Amino acid sequence: MKTRIFILIALGMLPAAVGFAADISRVDFVSKAFRDGDFIPHVCSEQDVVRRYGDGDRTVDAAGLIQRRYLDPTTRLEVLITSNPDVASKYRTVDEIRVSSISMGQPAAGRTESLRKLKLKGVAIGDPASRAASAARRYGQIHTEQEALGTFNVERICGFSGSGSSICFYIKDAEVVAMALGFGP
């Protein structure tokens, strides 16, 4: 009798478990992260991102970090999702999501949701550099440096919160050409 009750309970929970997995596969992680403006307290699982968007164009950068490139076919914005391979894949989280109007190479094979009205702390790609600098200052301690983005030299303006998360804006010709959020530098 106890076995039969256990089986009935397990079967009753199965649709909920399947529904949860299906819900994860429909989450628009890029839009959600930028809308929230932070990973805290909800960090993205790399497995969930791959389940949602596929493998993308997977490479390992010079620092040994895993990078997956995707493309929003409606806006032609490139999405770069970075994670740390030092953590077992089962537990690996996304360290940074960057959205850029500048491609890092050939168009990415992976696809994301439409990023048409994407903003980070009220700033969109194409906005003036002054708006990005103000948003970074409001977010936390600010840091600015020169960096290469694709074949272009850009200015990277980042704001760092006390919790260790960051928002960054990439500026070329006084205009935001990319933006990112993540943990640390």
Average pLDDT rounded to a whole number, residues 109-121: 91
Alpha-carbon span 178 to 175, nearest angstrom: 9
Alpha-carbon span 76 to 114, nearest angstrom: 9
Give the structural domain span for 54. Answer: 25-183
Quick one: which of 106, 110, 101 has its CA closest to 81?
110
Output the pLDDT for position 184.
65
Within a domain: 81: yes
Rounded to 10 deg, the angle between the 46-53 and 2-25 helix axes is 70
- Checking if the pLDDT of 169 tops 60, the result is yes
- 53: part of which helix (H) or strand (E)? helix 46-53
The tokens describing 173, both together, are 């010709």
Average pLDDT rounded to a whole number, residues 151-174: 95
Alpha-carbon span 85 to 65, nearest angstrom: 6
Instruction: Provide the b/e sequence for 138-176 (b: ≥16 CB within 10 Å).
Output: ebbeeeeeeeebbeeebbbbbbbeeeebbbbbbbbeeeb
Average pLDDT rounded to a whole number, residues 124-130: 98
> Strand locations in the chain, DSSP E?
57-60, 66-71, 78-83, 94-100, 110-111, 141-149, 152-160, 165-172, 175-183
What is the DSSP secondary structure assignment for residue 167, as one 8-state letter?
E
Collapsed DSSP state (helix, strand, coil) of residue 116 = coil
Domain count across the chain: 1
- Is residue 149 a contact partner of residue 102, using CB atoms and an 8 Å limit? yes
Output the pLDDT for position 132.
98
Alpha-carbon span 50 to 106, nearest angstrom: 20
Output the pLDDT for position 145.
97
Measure CA 3 to chain center. Answer: 45
Within a domain: 13: no
Average pLDDT rounded to a whole number, residues 120-135: 98
- Checking if the pLDDT of 107 tops 90, the result is no
Within a domain: 14: no
171 beta partners: 155, 176
Mean pLDDT score across all residues of the chain: 84
- Checking if the pLDDT of 103 tops 80, the result is yes
- Checking if the pLDDT of 24 tops 60, the result is no
pLDDT in tens, 49-88: 999 999 999 999 989 999 999 999 999 999 999 999 998 8
Within a domain: 20: no
Residue percentage of the chain with pLDDT more than 90? 61
